[in-house]
A and B are shown apart, each in its own frame.
Chain A
Amino acid sequence: NAGVTQTPKFQVLKTGQSMTLQCAQDMNHNSMYWYRQDPGMGLRLIYYSASEGTTDKGEVPNGYNVSRLNKREFSLRLESAAPSQTSVYFCASFPPTGRIEKLFFGSGTQLSVL
C-alpha cells in the first residue's frame, strides 16, 4: 500500500542508549519530515529534508540527527537517549511543489526513555 511507513511502532530505551527510527515513503515525494508529539502540545518539527541530499533543523533539533539515505528513506537517530525524548514520533512526506500541499503522515513511533 502506498504511504509512509515507520518502524518500529513501539520502543523502550534506557537513558544513554542510542537508536534509529526508520521512515520510508513510496509516493516519490521530495520532502520528508520528522515531528514529535507530546501530550497537550501540537506536533513540533525536529528536522526536515526538502530534497534528497539536504537536511535542515526544525524547531526542536537538539539531541537528534537525521540521514536522508535516498529519496525514499529518512531516518532519525537518537545518539544518547534522555527521558525528555519520551514522545510519539511521526514521519511525514510532502508532494513536490505545485501539487496539492498536504503532509502524509506515518502511523507513529511511541518511544519511552527510562
Chain B
Amino acid sequence: GESVGLHLPTLSVQEGDNSIINCAYSNSASDYFIWYKQESGKGPQFIIDIRSNMDKRQGQRVTVLLNKTVKHLSLQIAATQPGDSAVYFCAERESGTASKLTFGTGTRLQVTL
C-alpha cells in the first residue's frame, strides 16, 4: 500500500537555528496533511495542518510547505528551542476516507545548546 515516509530519522540543530523536517508521501489522492509532535512518554500533539489546495501555512514559529508536484511536505521551525526536542510525525489523509490518517515513521529532532 501507499505510505508516508521521512527522509531523515534524526536531526540535530543548534538552539536558535531554524529546523526543517521533511516528509515524502506517495498517495496522490491525499488531500490533507498534519504534523504532530511527540515528546517522550506522551501522545502525539497537533502542530499544524495544511490542505492540498494550499502551498504554505504558517503558525507560531512553524511553517508547513506542501509541494504536490513532487509529493513533498516540510515543517519549518524558526529559532529552535530546547523544548522543541521531540519526534515529529507527518500524517496524510486520503480524500474520501473521512478521518483515517496514515502516519510516517517520525523524525527525532535534537536541539543542542
Q: Which residue numbers of A lie inside 8 Å of B, CB to CB?
A: 4, 31, 33, 35, 40-45, 48, 50, 58, 90, 92, 94, 97, 100-108
Contacts and interface: CB of A to CB of B under 8 A. Distances in A.
B100 interface: yes
Given A43-B89, A48-B99, A102 B105 contact: no
B49 A108 contact: no
B44 A50 contact: no
Given A42-B106, A43-B89, A101 B99 contact: yes
8 contacts: A33-B99, A42-B102, A45-B101, A48-B100, A97-B98, A101-B99, A105-B44, A106-B43
Given A41-B105, A90-B44, A102 B34 contact: yes
Contacts of A41: 105
Interface of B: 4, 32, 34, 36, 41-46, 49, 89, 91, 93, 98-106
Given A42-B103, A101-B99, A102-B34, 4 more contacts: A42-B91, A42-B102, A101-B49, A102-B49
A41 B46 CA distance: 18
Nearest to A104: B46
Nearest to B9: A40
Interface centre among B43, B46, B93, B99, by most chain A C-beta atoms within 10 angstroms, is: B43
Nearest to A58: B100
